[in-house]
Every structure is written in C-alpha cells, then in structure tokens.
Amino acid sequence: MSTRRSPGEGSISRRPDGRWLGQLVTGRTAGGHPRRRTVYGRTKGEVLRKLDAVKIELHGGIDGGRRLTFGQLTELWLANRKAGLKWGTWKAYSRTLKKHGRALWRRPLVAIRPLDLDAHLHELERAGVPPAARATYRERIRQVFRYAVAKRLLTFSPADSLELPKYRPSTRRTWERTEVKAFLAAARGHWLYPLFHLALTTGLRPGELLALRWTDVDFDQGVLTVRHTWGPGANGQVLGEPKTARSKRRIPLSSDVLDILTAWHTAWIQERIVVEGVEEWRGSEFVFSWPTGNPMSADTLARELDRLIAAAEVPRLTMHGLRHTYATLALRAGLPVQVLSERLGHTRTSLTLDIYVGVLAEQREAAAYSMTRLLSEPDAAPMQHSGETRQAPPN
C-alpha cells in the first residue's frame, strides 16, 4: 500500500512487516538516476515527521538559515498558505511582502535580528509608507518568521518583539441621510438602481451583491440568503465561498426592497426572453448581470457608481462606502450592534464595535442627554416603588 503525495513531498508505503517506509528524492546521480533518502517508522505519522526532518536538513536545518534568505523563506510560506486562502487574499499577502520587504529579500535568515527589523520598519516610515500599511506588513513578517521557527529553520522569531505602529484609524467616509436620498434620486431609472438600493439597505459586500442568484431571494418569506461571493481568482472571476463562516447569513428585507426586487425580477425575465430570441443565454440565474446573463465585475459597479455620484453631486464613495453608510445610519437609527454585526457578516461583534466606535460614541452622548432629561423631567420619571405596591406618577 503506497500513499502518493505532491512532487517534492516524498512517498510513503507500508511494508509487509507492518512498518512504514518513506522516501524522498534528494538529487540526481552523475548518471541521471534519482538519489533517495529512506526513513522508517512504526506509524505513518512517525515517517511523516522524519521526512519533514530530512527536508529541513536539506535546507540546512537551523544552520541552513545562513543559506536560506528572507526572500526564499517568504516564497516557501506563501506556497504553504496558498491552498488555504482565497486567491485575492493570497495575492494581497504576496504583494505586501514583496513590495515592502525588498531590503530584506537577499539577507540570510540568521543575519536578521530584532533591531534590524526595527530599523527596517523605521526606514519604511521615513519613506512615507502609511501606518496602516506598516501594521499589515509587520503582521505578515511575523507570520513568515513564526513559520521558520515551526519548521526549525530558526530557534526564535526576530519579529515577535516588533511593536505595532501607533496610529488612529481614519474616519470612514459615509453619506448623511440627505445625501443618500440625493443619490437614490439620481440613480432612479438607472439599470443598476436595484443593486445600489440593495447595497444601501442591507450593507452587502460588492462580491456578495454580484454573486446573488434568484434562488437566494425568498419573496414569500421576505428574506435574502448570502451563500457565495463573486471575485477575482487565479484564472479570472470566480464564484467562491463567502469571506468568513458568519458571512453565510439570512437578511430580512423591508417591503420597499421586496417591491424593487420583484419589479426587477419581472424585467429580468422579460429581458431574458428577448435575448434568447437572438442569441444564446449565458447566464446562471444571477440577480445582477449583463443583458446576456454574464456576471459583472466589481470594476463595472465602481464605474457606474462614480457616474451616478457625479450626477447626484454628493461626496465620492466606493462600494464599501455604501456598506459603511448603511451601518452608520442603522446604528444611529437604534439597530443593536449585535444585530448589525450579524447583518454585516462580521466574524465577531467586537469587530463591529472597533469599526464603528465613532458612531457608538455619538450614541453614548445621546444616551447621556436622554438620562439628563429623564432625571430633570417629572413626567419622565420611572415607576415608583413603595412598600409592596407599584404606583405610576400622577399625570
């Protein structure tokens, strides 16, 4: 019985005597034949650990840090993470490390010390790299060096002592109610009006809006279910899983949103009938698509949004700005943070609190004002308790 693994991972098989055998190609002989290292173990797990040790040895083990550079380590880490990340996320990790890590790229691992990394980050600061970008980069190099420690390429991580750059998150730009009304008035009649209206009343992410299919909309129950996201992949745009497990969620729809979607569905069916009369329908039941049924990209939304913003003469926002506008207005209207967090698909409520801390501060000030009125106005006093009876204050 043999277990096939990816190239470079080695092969594992079980011997007739019950022991496990592992082999790894380590090079070629002068005659071109493969040179192999063989390890044995009582269990498959033991053989796997021994094969990993051989691979570490081939890289030089801990001493090999003198030959393995930061750039080589980064490439190993990125290859290790690629299968477990969305393509766009993995691409962002790669871009961040290669953009800001150029000064470290050719340096041997063992030659990089905590003070070197401190100086490196200070150099990025002097070069004008924003604090948020430096914070993200710092987190990535910490992950890379921890990977080196886990693989026994280093005895300790020089990045663990790095301090987070101190900065205040920038205030997220959103629209006020009057600006939302002005935008929707300018967008009425536009072919993507239902999408922008839905974005401002649900806070859906752009990729979630583009991935919606008619099977995700329950008109009878008045509920929309987020099941997928549409975005970039290694070979173009792809339909994938939502950002997090909590991103798969059900969102109740108001009657006005249902009316808009119902009218949009009717128009969609009629348009499909017309298209099918002259060419092949290529759609997959997407709610928002081109007339031929082909799904759209986020670039299309951004372009159309900019045109409508110019027509409405309101401050420029991105599609994510519409999401933040919804969240801000919902909080000001009194929607509980826990409910908002669920509707936005955040991984945890504390994330919602961190993002919208400014809006919540406004709410706290309003609550303090209300308490002042509560204590100063007799008519607003709470029910009084006297003995075993409760009496309401006199009218």
For the segment 362-382, what is each residue's pLDDT rounded down to a tens digit?
Answer: 766 666 555 566 566 555 444
216 — pLDDT class (breaks 50, 70, 90):
very high
pLDDT at 6 over 70: no
DSSP string, 46-104: HHHHHHHHHHHHHTTTTGGGGTSBHHHHHHHHHHHHGGGS-HHHHHHHHHHHHHH-GGG
- At 347, the pLDDT band (50, 70, 90 cuts) reads confident
Protein fold of 66-150: DNA polymerase; domain 1 (1.10.150)
pLDDT (tens digit per residue) in 30-45:
777 887 889 898 888 8
Residues facing residue 133 across a β-bridge: none
Closest CA to 305 of 228, 206, 380, 165: 206
pLDDT in tens, 277-288: 656 666 568 899
AA identity, residue 334: G
Tokens of 272: 């499909």
| Least reliable range by pLDDT among 92-101, 107-116, 298-307, 318-327 | 107-116
Mean pLDDT rounded to a whole number for the chain: 82
Give the pLDDT band (50/70/90) at residue 361.
confident
Chain segment 177-211, per-residue pLDDT in tens: 999 999 999 999 999 999 999 999 999 999 999 99
Q: How far is CA 327 from CA 85, 93, 199, 261, 335, in A?
A: 27, 28, 11, 21, 9
- Residue 174: is its pLDDT beyond 70? yes
pLDDT at residue 257 above 50?
yes
Question: Which of these ranges, 51-55, 121-125, 254-258, 365-369, has the smallest mean pLDDT?
Answer: 365-369
pTM for the complete prediction? 0.63
Intrachain domains 66-150 and 177-357 with the same fold: no
Q: In the chain, where are the structural domains located?
A: 2-58, 66-150, 177-357
Model confidence pLDDT, tens digit, residues 126-160:
999 988 889 899 999 999 999 988 887 887 899 98
Q: Which CATH superfamily does the domain covering 177-357 fall into? A: Intergrase catalytic core (1.10.443.10)
